Amino acid sequence: MRALLQRVSEASVKVDGEVIGQCGQGLMVLVCAMQGDTEANADKLAAKVAKCRIFEDDAGKMNRSVLDIGGSALVVSQFTLAADTRSGNRPGFSTAAPPAEGQHLYQYFAKQLATQGLPVETGRFGADMKVALVNDGPITIWMDV
């Protein structure tokens, strides 16, 4: 699985003009299931995300996790993280998991992240979503498992 983490002071996602998920200080997590991914990959990614130390400690060093700061997460599916841009000008997405599998792993990942002790809200798989966020830092981290 693949994720793009953004340290945020706030984030929200809207569908048809209605806010369906939001978070305060914490993480915006864009996630994509890749072909061949399993629940074990989602488990590993959820643990890594929850424990990723990208928040500042008292000395100003990135040494605290979202769990350490009592933050929350907004998890949004984004199959375009599977983009292959090596040739031509139009990205290919053939390495993304098929939609039914991607939806299952996305929802499973969000649940596993919540079992780490993190408040989690989500977007809506396959919907046209409008995402707003304030990237804090800015800090953006790419993760593959």
Residues assigned a catalytic role: 78-80
Peptide bond into 98 cis (omega under 30): no
Taking phi over 0 as left and psi of -120 to 50 as alpha, with beta for the rest, 10 belongs to: beta
Q: How far apart are CA 102 and CA 32, in angstroms?
A: 7
- The phi and psi torsions of 76 (rounded to 5 degrees) equal -130, 130
Label residue 22 exposed, middle or buried (CB < 10 Å: 0-12, 13-18, 19+). middle
